[in-house]
Amino acid sequence: MRTYQSLAFRTAYLLTGSAADAEDAVQTAFVKAWRALPRFRAGAPFKPWLLRIVANEAHNRRRSERRRIELPLRATAAQPSGDAAPSPEGAALGRERREELLRAVEGLSDRDRDVLACRYFLELSEEETAEVLGVRRGTVKSRTARALARLREEVDA
Amino acid sequence: MNGLEQALRSLGRELDVPLAPDVVSSVLGRIEPRASRQAAWAGSRRRVSLAVALVLLAALAATLAVPDARSALLRILNLGGEQIELVDELPAVEGALDETTLGEPVTLDEARRRVGLRLRELERRPDRVYLLGERPMAWFVYGPLDDVRLLVSQTPQLMVDRRLIAKKVVGRDSSLEETLVDGSPAFYLSGSPHVVLLLDERGNVIEDSIRLAGNVLLWQDDDIAFRLEGDFTLDEAVELGESLRPPSP
């Protein structure tokens, strides 16, 4: 449980935008996972199976709250490796762009945001994302492509 | 990976996610009372042997003409957020539903009371509710009887047996796909299934007909067998299944 609780919490937090909801979702998901363990298919990857249950619990809480998700950036976001230290103006501009991108992600539909969160914020593979979201791998591909296209439109607008 | 994808990945690493709380003790606190009860139950031999298997027979019916409306299909379903008029979006299943096969019509409140467990529901209330048999099997009907969009049944104390399903589910005009619903193994039968075989607590086979000429999703969770019938794809069925949840207290 300790091995996965950080990842589970991060997943739930990114899907709910609330630490309290995320903690509640993780607790319930762990209980459900424990009960479902006898039905867990031996040899199947455990992480996406567990995250699927976490994601479902997170979705349940998000549905009941019906509020817009707003994820914060760290106050001092790291610069991409290899970049020279930016000027204060450059850093502010970089942060502004990241905030803009984040707000654009938050403005997407739940479905688009979920697939992008899994693929890029949680850095799950297509296969893992498919398991977590309960869809086929091909569906992940197409959803991701559509979500990226919509995000690009938002950012370029 | 293009520039936008790289930017998203970089953004993900810059998100200010709070430190994960330690949930181990609270989770153990929720697990252990149940585990103790289960052990006591088994020890007292009161446990009914739930050697229940669900065997699907995919019979061959005449090829269903796929309605044109099928291509118009569902709007994108929302996993979270403001789902769930999706039941309205599902195409009607061909052929009227025979109400007498569903049992006794009851109100939703009466069904909740008599079934003795927290029936899971979609956000939208079912249009009709029935109870069948002594167990009983609860049926939720979405849509009018001559234009049914979705059927949901919930039956306590049944378990799904993967090996039996894998062995027995065969059919030239139907196919079986395995998936997950809320983390539980689930079985999606598409084509023209028309019969489900259930095993009761004593291992007796109970034949139960598919009520609609559509597809079927079956799974079991917390000793309840769930069954959806409708003209849905696997993904749609899973999303419907995962949208079922107990009503707020």
- Average pLDDT, integer, range A5-29: 91
- Average pLDDT, integer, range B30-37: 60
B98 CA: distance to closest CA in chain A (Å): 32
Closest CA to B236 of B193, B190, B196, B192: B190
Element (H, E) at B186: strand B184-190
- Residue B48 clears pLDDT 50, i.e. is over it: no
Q: Residue B153: what pLDDT?
A: 93
For A32, the 3-state DSSP assignment is helix
Of B23, B82, B182, the CB nearest to A56: B182
For A2-65, CATH number out of 3.30.1490.20, 1.10.1740.10, 1.10.3720.10, 3.40.190.10 equals 1.10.1740.10
For B42, the 3-state DSSP assignment is helix
Give B149 or A78, the one with higher predicted confidence: B149
Q: Do A13 and B7 touch (CB under 8 A)?
A: no
Q: Residue B40: what pLDDT?
A: 46
Q: Of B20-29, B138-147, B157-166, which gets the smallest average pLDDT?
A: B157-166
Q: What confidence tier does A70 reach under pLDDT thresholds 50, 70, 90?
A: confident
Start and end residues for every CATH 1.10.1740.10 domain found in chain A: 2-65
- Average pLDDT, integer, range A66-91: 61
Q: What confidence tier does A85 reach under pLDDT thresholds 50, 70, 90?
A: low
Residue tagged 């899973």 (tokens): B238
Q: Do A102 and B222 touch (CB under 8 A)?
A: no
Of B24, B179, B185, the CB nearest to A39: B185
Size of interface A-B (CB pairs under 8 A): 148
Of A5, A98, A139, the CB nearest to B14: A98
ipTM for the complex shown? 0.84
- Architecture (CATH level 2) of domain A108-156: Orthogonal Bundle (1.10)
Residue A15 near residue A61 (C-beta atoms within 8 A): no
Q: Do A1 and B17 touch (CB under 8 A)?
A: no
Q: Do A148 and B5 touch (CB under 8 A)?
A: yes
* Triad B65, B69, B75: Cα angle to 5°: 135
* Whole-prediction pTM: 0.47
Residues of B in contact with A78 (CB under 8 A): 13-14
